[in-house]
Amino acid sequence: MGGNGGLSSGVGAFLQQAEARLLELGCEAQQADWLYATYINPDSEALAARTYARVIEATVELAKESTRFAADRTSPEETRKLSLLRLALPMIAPSDPAESRELTSLVASMQGAYARGRHVPIGSQDPADVQALSRILWTSRDPSVLEDAWSGWHRVGRGIRPGFTRYVELANRGARELGFADTGVMWRSKYDMPPEEFAAEVERLWGQVRPLYRSLHAYVRRRLATTYGADLVPVSGPIPAHLLGDMWAQSWEKVYPVLAPPGDGGHFDLTRALTDRHTPPEEMVRYAERFFTSLGLDPLPATFWERSMITRPRDREVVCHASAWSVDFAEDIRIKMCIEITAEDFHTVHHELGHNYYQRAYARQPYLFRDSAHDGFHEALGDTVALSVTPDYLTEIGLAPPGTKFADDVGLLLDRALQKVAFLPFGLAVDRWRWKVFSGEVGPADYNRTWWETRSEYQGVAPPVPRGEEEFDAGAKYHVPANVPYMRYFLAAILQFQFHRALAKQAGHTGPLHRASIYGSRAAGARLRAMMEMGQSHEWPDALEALTGERRMDAQGLLEYFAPLQQWLDEQNRGAPVGW
């Protein structure tokens, strides 16, 4: 679909003007949003809201105008661009100017409330933000301390709830103006298939991986019951969310020491290796950059190092949530992180640079094609690279000395499953809940009850204390107040293993999939580059085929990766309850 040859004059001229206008407004909004995220104050918040409002107003205007070409003879490229224009935003403001301004202000305000959230934990006199409170959940094994940190952070949702209720109303009004039943239907329409088929597709994928998750859940519950007692951890019920080492119980690797296989000698401690070397934050990013250049991709531009935020400033409020940016939709790529010298952030930096390299690869496409094949591809790409952070890779780059003893395969796989497999149902539940909220199936009076019912259904977790409707626990997860669709993360959790399996084969790997690293493989890099450069110019099955040779999302790569662990878990769970 590359090039503009053969465009019909009317729609061609419209699209050319639309792309030029949206590129200019998009760059302006990215600059303002970057300023707000890295320098939170009333002025930057107002600027971000106003510039984003202009993007939304222009996009909605152009999307509505595009409907006049519906009956025209259009080329495949034009047809795709018109469709993507209509689906370009995760939120459509109503055409009424006052309501449009109100909606964008609401989202900026909710993000600000989240960023400013604080709680004074037990044993401290200082207010702690979500990162500091999360660290308590990682390190403490005192249930009362864990409950306090968990409950303290989740109170941030109370202040977000009123704005969220109004946001749902206004966002739905905007979506209906574009012909969608509600915002959830609009989100589900972005996957080159009817929205009802997409909902069925994610349930199909969940059905593939659910048995593995249930086995992991049963093992974790039994080991936590041994640590905390059956009074706190029920033998056959949901796991209390505050005991899993993560504020949202979405990733459980922080409690690996409690869950390690019997006789496990411990992991190679990547965090300690990094801190012993006094690794500065910039060098954390350099490690990840060198991974991508080993695949034959270009080094990051000088502006990346000049303009990125990689540590928390001491003089102002910022949004520390890690993110990758393409500010000018071309070469001005950046990351925003408050990097800590940990194994987790080592992986996260690889993930974020995956976004940046993808953004850079499709920058030569027309503006409306400058995105990933679908949003799950963007998230999967960086995680695919992080799967190559294997013992052999750490040895090859000098972080682990030759001859270092690593945990055996079961230990390595359990640790990774506590991150990857444990995440799967949470990745599904967040938007399953929001789809019901947007459709009106769940009203404001039942927000919190249904949030926990959904999480119990998919995750088998429960809050540590009773939660009433005065709470808004969904608001304590960044992506909800920030209006970021979440299904992309579920899809990425599946796709990264599908990508990894294909790239490992391209790199010539013949051993177990969980030991494969594509580091240094120009062949894998060429396959990766070919897919990334397509951007959104083709439907996602075409991009998937370019990378993997397959046209359907499939969890077989994940199941192959964790097959040795599945067998071990089933042996450990023999005779014990599975499910909740």
Decide: 55 and 78 in contact? Cβ < 8 Å: no
pLDDT digits 0-9 by tens, 169-199: 999 999 998 889 999 999 999 999 999 999 9
Which of 282 and 60 is assigned the larger pLDDT? 282
Average pLDDT over residues 266-278: 88
Q: Which of 9-18, 68-77, 441-450, 525-534 has the lowest mean pLDDT?
A: 68-77
Average pLDDT over residues 96-123: 92
Average pLDDT over residues 270-279: 94
Residue 6 has pLDDT above 70, yes or no: no
Average pLDDT over residues 454-474: 97
**The pLDDT of residue 9:** 54
C-beta atoms surrounding 198 within 10 Å: 19
**The pLDDT of residue 8:** 46
**The pLDDT of residue 7:** 43
The rounded percent of the chain whose pLDDT value lies above 70 is: 97
Decide: 488 and 427 in contact? Cβ < 8 Å: no
Residue 139 has pLDDT above 70, yes or no: yes
Residue 70 has pLDDT above 80, yes or no: no
Could you tell me how many residues make up the chain?
580
| pTM of the full structure | 0.89
Sign of the torsion angle spanned by Cα atoms 478, 482, 485, 491: negative
Q: Specify the 3-state DSSP secondary structure of 256.
A: helix
Residue with tokens 């037990």: 122
Residue 1 has pLDDT above 60, yes or no: no
**The pLDDT of residue 89:** 85
Average pLDDT over residues 30-57: 92
pLDDT digits 0-9 by tens, 141-153: 999 999 999 999 9
Average pLDDT over residues 277-281: 95
pLDDT digits 0-9 by tens, 247-263: 999 999 999 999 999 87
**The pLDDT of residue 204:** 98
Following DSSP, what letter does each residue of 276-298 receive, concatenated? Answer: HTT--HHHHHHHHHHHHHHTTPP
**The pLDDT of residue 56:** 84
**The pLDDT of residue 382:** 86
pLDDT digits 0-9 by tens, 525-536: 999 999 999 999
Q: Specify the 3-state DSSP secondary structure of 240.
A: strand
Considering only CA atoms, which of 344, 366, 324, 312 is closest in space to residue 18? 366
- 323-326 vs 333-336, strand pairing mode: antiparallel
- What is the pLDDT of the chain when averaged over all its residues? 93
For residue 63, give every residue at least 6 positions away whose Cβ sits within 8 Å of its Cβ, in sequence order, or none: 85, 86, 88, 92, 178
Residue 53 has pLDDT above 90, yes or no: no
pLDDT digits 0-9 by tens, 401-452: 887 767 678 988 999 999 999 999 999 999 999 999 999 999 999 999 999 9
Residue 208 has pLDDT above 60, yes or no: yes
Residue 2's pLDDT band, with cuts at 50, 70 and 90, is very low
**The pLDDT of residue 234:** 94
Average pLDDT over residues 317-337: 94
Average pLDDT over residues 472-498: 96
